[in-house]
Structure 1
């Protein structure tokens, strides 16, 4: 199998249909989609089960508690069979050539870690406000300054991931990328925008104060970076975050 797609889900009945449809529309068809539900109380699981009954590539795992996105993604990685791992949250969207383009980009160039540009939409997928164009390369050092790898476009060889897993409930994907970039010199960016990242007011990533604090804490405790170096990297992160969201997205 070429690709395992891992999707954490919690009360996503309003969006999961569009997300699954974007996977079913992929031009590369050799994939499995592992949807890990964190004890949803809405109709999310019913929607997924209706798809899974028609397509054996779609698998639903139901947790009896909400342990967060990282725990759900880890459970998906534990059972994934694909050569490559991709992550797609339950409210995001891939354009039809995402898997084909990323698989070709990665396998032909022997890249173990790659990512792509994407668009940012507010609430509705049709309400696109900005395109985030990624750099051609990301290293551990450059990622300390600004995170250019989004969860919905990360494309990683399973051998690189090995037993590395996500930790925590905030910035878990960012520090996961850093862990992988300690094992490989760089990740490579596909310049075309191949996905849509949906910003929602009630999404976990929108609590920016917690995100900022956990980023600083991660620099000091997880990465063991000195105080003044942490100040240096954090100032870069904060400025780029302002440019990406506060300055670039119109009010909605």
Structure 2
């Protein structure tokens, strides 16, 4: 089973060195790394190309201009030749068994469409700081599951064949494209949590998800959840009507406030523990 590591690159050549090393250390050998550069400076592109030169497992492509993550990540999936795909940001890294742990699940259970694990927050030098403790197994086949609050997070991998049967990634998304992907895959089969930290998430000033885009991220996330409600033909949530048209993210998250309650969280956890795999 071939695994495609999908990398949307934009001016991250220096940090990419750590990701490159982590890929070379993988215990699963049947993998490729597909890199799509989204309008980086010429010296940044040249640095990446020089690093991967001579290794046929790495394939490098370029957008003709800066399109953003929605278009770039959608293109990356199209370029992938593996049965299983997983995104890794160019400034992060994965641990040696990360790919193998995921592939084994897909090999042994053809009903699993997506896997995810824990990630570890790291400093700028990729030194571990703290694990993401909220990650845990989510209940499967729940029409009211919207990954809110977030539990599905890095390292997320999915079956390309199943992805092709969805509406696919929304290329218009500038942020929250990952949440869009997770919810669409969730609707197609089982998701499985790997209770290990397999992903190193680097925090630094230049990180896209760590800067002024946080408010925008919240807005896009609200729209992604609203689109999922419409796909699932959900009209009422917890006694409240789902709006006919999307207006603001606050309106959507207000519908889901009850999912942050202690009682709901306990019931969800119990459902996850005793679900029939």
Unaligned runs of 5+ in 1: 238-252
Structure 1 residue 79: Cα displacement: 2.0
How many pairs align? Answer: 235
Structure 1 residue 190: Cα displacement: 0.1
Structure 1 residue 109: Cα displacement: 3.0
Unaligned runs of 5+ in 2: 235-241, 244-250, 261-277
How many Å separate the matches in 2 of 1:96 and 1:144?
27
1:145-164 aligned at under 5 Å gives the runs 145-150=148-153, 152-162=154-164, 164=166
CA RMSD of aligned residues (A): 2.3
3-state SS of paired residue (1:194): strand
| Larger Rg computed on CA atoms | 2
1:233 matched residue in structure 2: 256
1:217 matched residue in structure 2: 223
1:16-165 aligned at under 5 Å gives the runs 16-41=16-41, 43-110=43-110, 111-126=112-127, 128-133=128-133, 134-139=135-140, 141-150=144-153, 152-162=154-164, 164=166, 165=168
2:266 matched residue in structure 1: none
Question: Which stretch shows the higher mean deviation, 136-145 or 160-169?
Answer: 136-145
Question: Which stretch shows the higher mean deviation, 47-56 or 110-119?
Answer: 47-56
2:178 paired with 1:173: yes
Structure 1 residue 98: Cα displacement: 0.6
Q: TM-score, normalised by structure 2?
A: 0.77
How many Å separate the matches in 1 of 2:105 and 2:131?
20
How many Å separate the matches in 2 of 1:10 and 1:43?
11
How many Å separate the matches in 2 of 1:46 and 1:235?
50
How many Å separate the matches in 2 of 1:229 and 1:12?
34
How many Å separate the matches in 2 of 1:9 and 1:138?
33
3-state SS of paired residue (1:71): helix
Q: TM-score, normalised by structure 1?
A: 0.84
Q: Aligned pair in 2 of structure 1 residues 10, 236: CA closer, same or farther (>3 Å)?
A: farther
